[in-house]
Structures are given as C-alpha cells and as structure tokens.
C-alpha cells in the first residue's frame, strides 16, 4: 500500500475559495454570485480583489441561477455559491431549464454537502444532489477529495465550456494530494494500485478509503483505490481496467446509495463486465444532527465500513469463483 501522509488539514470549501480567486485572476470574464453565504463559501478573497465582478443576490437561489444563466449571454463565466441543498433541490427546475437545457456555461458550486455538514441536521444535509445533477443531460458533476484537489478542480472548470456541478464540504480533512496537480475533468486518479479489490471512492470518502487500504494491507488484502472525482462523465475505461484485474468492487460516497457514484459504476459493470459490488453509502435515509465523525460512523461511511464491505465483496467473488469451478 502506497504511503499517504498529511501535514495539514483544511476544508474543501477553502479549496474552492482559493481556486475561485485564481480562476478570477486568469480570466477577467469569471464572475461570482452568492446567496448570502459568502463566509461559508470562502468567497471573500475573490470579492475583495474583484468587487465589481461579484453579485450578492440575497437569500434567493432561484433568482441567482437565472441571473447566472443570463450573465453567460455576454460571455461571462459565472460561479454560483451556496450550500449543496440550496444549489440543487431548491432550484432544480431553474437549473434544468435556464442552465442545462439552455446549455449555459454556469458553474454551480455547492458547499456543505452530505452528512459532514454536521450539527445543522438533515434539513441541510443533502444526500441526493449527485443523483439529481448527473441526471441532467450535459451536466458535468465533480466531487473532489481534499483542499488541493478542490482548488485545482475550480480552476479547471473555469476553462471548461458547459454547465458544471462542483460539490465540496464543510469540515477540515487531510490534504494528501499534490498542490501543483493538474485536474483533468473525467479522468480518474489512481491512488493505489492493487490486485484483490477495486475501491472507487469520491469526495471525503477517498481519505477513508486510504485508511481502509492500510488496514486491509495488514490483513493481506491488496486493494486498488481509485479516486473518482468526476462522477459525470465517468471514467469508464479506468473502472473496467481495474475490475478486469480485481474482479470485485466497493464504491464509497457521502450520498444516498440510490443515484450516486455506486449506481453509475454498477451501470458500467452490468453492461460490460458484471462482477460483485458492495456499496458504502447512506442507506436511503435522511441524516441527523451530530459531529461529522459521529455521523460518518453511524451512517456507515468510515474506513471501518469500507473494510467490512471489502471483506464481504471478496467473499462473494470467491464464492462465485468456486461456483464456477463446481459447474465445470
């Protein structure tokens, strides 16, 4: 197992803030909008440097999405900022008609996604956003794993033409990816090469997958870990190449098991190479108040649950192998 260490923890939303500033410096057409959550979205630095390119819309997310769509008519590259819940479910129809169907170059940037929002509880902990966004034709969906990757992704989407949903979070998490990385939309990142099982993880679950990989190595299991930062378009080639070797899959995400990364992978497997898959995801429920760590444990999204899922899926793989042999 390749060794990953970190010297610092930071929130991925701060990676967004840093990336937005950099994108703004590189392209004068980059503009930003926020629905009364500037501090939470870490947009202060952009606003300080480019006050005339920032639009405070107040607590009116539907209007924000429409204004963002309009700003593209005239060549602007708008980044909207609010919580993931208010970036998706609250404004689904606005995104669908005025942005996705109209093919507008809007970057929907969503913080405080998933359970790790913590104490505010289920009203704010959206676990359905990846599903909603990936179902929109033409929408690119990205869920980076740490500060550096979120910053790189933010810069990359400014250079990509078309609507994008960028999802990140509230808590501080280890920084373990390179600060000078080039972010390639749609290109999965090989975290660790292995032979026994493919763990496809996204967002905060990538670090948990690394912790799980270390425990699995001690148990003699050689896990391949792949960071699927782009949910759509999915890196189908990377998925198939990995399962050709490992013959079983665990998907890991901070999302409802319905409609998220796991389902995207399952669809690829069932069409091209059916192998056993286990899901590490929220089991079709709402969240609740608690600390991020408590919630990730209670809802089965930590390293320990990834280890359990690997054991289970490997048993299934081996059982299938035996069954095939028996039938010969």
Q: Does 52 bind another protein (CB under 8 A)?
A: yes
With respect to another protein, which residue has the nearer C-beta, 56 or 315? 56
Q: Does 75 bind another protein (CB under 8 A)?
A: yes
Q: List Cβ neighbours of 4 (8 Å cut-off, separation of 6 or more).
A: 176, 191, 210
DSSP letter for 166, please. Answer: E
Our CA angle for 80, 126, 306, nearest 5°, is 120
Binding region for another protein (CB under 8 A) out of 57-65, 181-189, 241-249, 291-299: 57-65
- 106's torsion region: left (phi>0), alpha (psi -120 to 50) or beta? beta
Q: Does 156 bind another protein (CB under 8 A)?
A: no
Q: Tell me the per-residue interface mask from 3 to 42 with another protein, x by CB under 8 A, - otherwise.
A: ----------------------------x-----------
* H-helix segments, 136-257: 147-158, 205-218, 236-246
Q: Tell me the per-residue interface mask from 93 to 112 with another protein, x by CB under 8 A, - otherwise.
A: xx-xxx--xxxx--------
Q: List Cβ neighbours of 130 (8 Å cut-off, separation of 6 or more).
A: 141, 143, 167, 231, 253, 255, 259, 260, 261
Q: Does 78 bind another protein (CB under 8 A)?
A: yes
Q: Can you tell me the distance from the alpha carbon of 186 to that of 142, in angstroms, rounded to the nearest whole number?
A: 9
Q: How far is the CB of 121 from another protein (least distance, A)?
A: 25
Candidate list 69, 197, 199, 210; residue touching another protein; CB under 8 A: 69
* 77-83 β-sheet, strand order: 54-56, 30-34, 77-83, 107-111, 164-167, 140-142, 230-232
With respect to another protein, which residue has the nearer C-beta, 62 or 240? 62
Q: Does 314 bind another protein (CB under 8 A)?
A: no
The torsion angles phi and psi of 55, rounded to 5 degrees, stand at -125, 115
Candidate list 39, 58, 89, 274; residue touching another protein; CB under 8 A: 58
Report the run of H or E that residue 132 belongs to, with start and end: helix 129-134
Q: List Cβ neighbours of 50 (8 Å cut-off, separation of 6 or more).
A: 24, 31, 32
Q: How far is the CB of 284 from another protein (least distance, A)?
A: 28
Candidate list 63, 215, 297, 308; residue touching another protein; CB under 8 A: 63
Q: Does 87 bind another protein (CB under 8 A)?
A: no
Q: Are 122 and 287 in contact (CB under 8 A)?
A: yes
Q: Show which residues are catalytic.
A: 61
With respect to another protein, which residue has the nearer C-beta, 160 or 316? 160
Q: How far is the CB of 77 from another protein (least distance, A)?
A: 11
Q: Are 131 and 261 in contact (CB under 8 A)?
A: no
Q: List Cβ neighbours of 52 (8 Å cut-off, separation of 6 or more).
A: none
Total interface residues for another protein by CB under 8 A: 32
With respect to another protein, which residue has the nearer C-beta, 87 or 177? 87
Candidate list 12, 14, 72, 230; residue touching another protein; CB under 8 A: 72
User: Does the bond joining 233 to the residue before it have cis omega, within 30 degrees of 0?
Assistant: yes
Q: Tell me the per-residue interface mask from 210 to 239 with another protein, x by CB under 8 A, - otherwise.
A: ------------------------------
Q: Does 71 bind another protein (CB under 8 A)?
A: yes
- The contact set with another protein (CB under 8 A) reads 31, 52-53, 55, 57-58, 60, 62-76, 78, 93-94, 96-98, 101-104
């Amino acid at each position: 197992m390749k060794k990953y260490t970190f010297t610092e923890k930071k929130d991925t939303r701060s990676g967004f803030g840093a990336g937005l500033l950099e994108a703004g410096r590189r392209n004068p057409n980059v503009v930003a909008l926020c629905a009364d959550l500037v501090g939470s979205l870490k947009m202060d630095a952009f606003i300080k440097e480019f006050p005339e390119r920032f639009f405070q819309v107040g607590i009116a997310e539907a209007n924000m999405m429409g204004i963002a769509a309009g700003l593209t008519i005239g060549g602007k590259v708008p980044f909207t900022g609010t919580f993931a819940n208010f970036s998706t479910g609250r404004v689904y129809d606005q995104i669908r008609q005025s942005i996705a169907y109209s093919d507008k170059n809007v970057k929907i940037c969503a913080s405080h996604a998933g359970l790790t929002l913590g104490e505010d509880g289920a009203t704010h902990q959206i676990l359905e956003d990846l599903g909603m966004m990936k179902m929109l034709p033409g929408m690119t969906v990205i869920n980076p794993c740490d500060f550096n990757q979120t910053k790189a992704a933010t810069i990359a989407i400014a250079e990509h033409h078309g609507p994008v949903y960028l999802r990140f979070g509230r808590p501080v998490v280890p920084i373990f990816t390179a600060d000078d990385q080039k972010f390639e939309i749609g290109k999965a990142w090989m975290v660790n090469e292995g032979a026994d099982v493919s763990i496809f993880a996204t967002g905060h679950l990538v670090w948990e997958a690394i912790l799980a990989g270390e425990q699995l190595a001690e148990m003699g299991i050689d896990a391949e870990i792949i960071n699927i930062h782009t949910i759509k378009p999915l890196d189908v080639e990377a998925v198939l190449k990995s399962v050709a070797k490992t013959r079983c899959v665990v998907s890991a995400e901070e999302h409802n098991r319905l409609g998220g990364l796991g389902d995207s992978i399952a669809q690829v497997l069932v069409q091209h190479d059916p192998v056993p898959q286990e899901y590490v995801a929220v089991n079709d429920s709402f969240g609740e108040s608690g600390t991020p760590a408590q919630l990730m444990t209670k809802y089965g999204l930590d390293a320990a649950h990834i280890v359990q899922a690997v054991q289970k899926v490997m048993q299934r793989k081996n059982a299938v192998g035996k069954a095939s042999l028996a039938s010969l």
